[in-house]
Amino acid sequence: MSPPEPRRPSRPRCPAAPVMKEYPVRFTVDRALCCSSGLCVLTAPDVFDQADDDGRVVLLTSSPPDGEEAAVEEAVACCPSGAISVTD
């Protein structure tokens, strides 16, 4: 009998992702609210990163690249501290 395959981390899934009405959407992050969970980075790594020193969010772009809109919506919904805000 072969050993079980190692489990790979999966992306977080948030069922209540908001629907952004129009693209391009712009958004901001409040680093003071960020609790360094890293969920946004797992969900949309082309848009979010974490600082090496404190693990808080770093915004790589304020507007999601084409094809990343759904991932960003999920990141906004997953953020446990409400640190990511969608702006007009």
Give the whole-angstrom CA distance, residue 35 versus residue 42: 15
Contact 62, 28 (CB under 8 A): yes
Question: Measured from the CB of residue 83, what is the shortest distance to ligand SF4 in angstroms?
Answer: 4
Span of 3-11, 19-27, 60-68, 72-80 interacting with ligand SF4 by CB under 6 A? 72-80
Size of interface with ligand SF4, in residues (CB under 6 A)? 16
Q: Does 51 bind ligand SF4 (CB under 6 A)?
A: no
Question: Measured from the CB of residue 31, what is the shortest distance to ligand SF4 in angstroms?
Answer: 8
Give the whole-angstrom CA distance, residue 50 versus residue 70: 20
Contact 62, 24 (CB under 8 A): no
Largest Cα span, the chain: 57
Contact 20, 28 (CB under 8 A): no
* Interface residue with ligand SF4, options 38, 45, 61, 77 (CB under 6 A): 38
Question: Measured from the CB of residue 71, what is the shortest distance to ligand SF4 in angstroms?
Answer: 12
Q: What residues make contact with ligand SF4 under the rule CB under 6 A?
A: 29, 34-40, 48, 57, 78-81, 83-84
